[in-house]
Amino acid sequence: MTIEIRTPDKSVYSGEVTLVQLPGLGGLFEILEHHAPMVAALQKGRAKVQDKDGQELFFDLNGGVAEVLHDKVLVLAE
For the chain, the domains span 1-32
How confident is residue 34, by pLDDT bands cut at 50, 70 and 90? very high
How confident is residue 10, by pLDDT bands cut at 50, 70 and 90? very high
pLDDT at 76: 98
- Mean pLDDT for the chain overall: 97
Q: Is the pTM of this model over 0.75?
A: yes
Transcribe 8-74 into DSSP letters: SS-EEEEEEEEEEEEEETTEEEEEETTPPPEEEEEEEEEEEEEETTS-EEEEEEEEEEEEEETTEEE
Q: What is the pLDDT of residues 51-66, one digit of tens each?
A: 999 999 999 999 999 9
How confident is residue 69, by pLDDT bands cut at 50, 70 and 90? very high
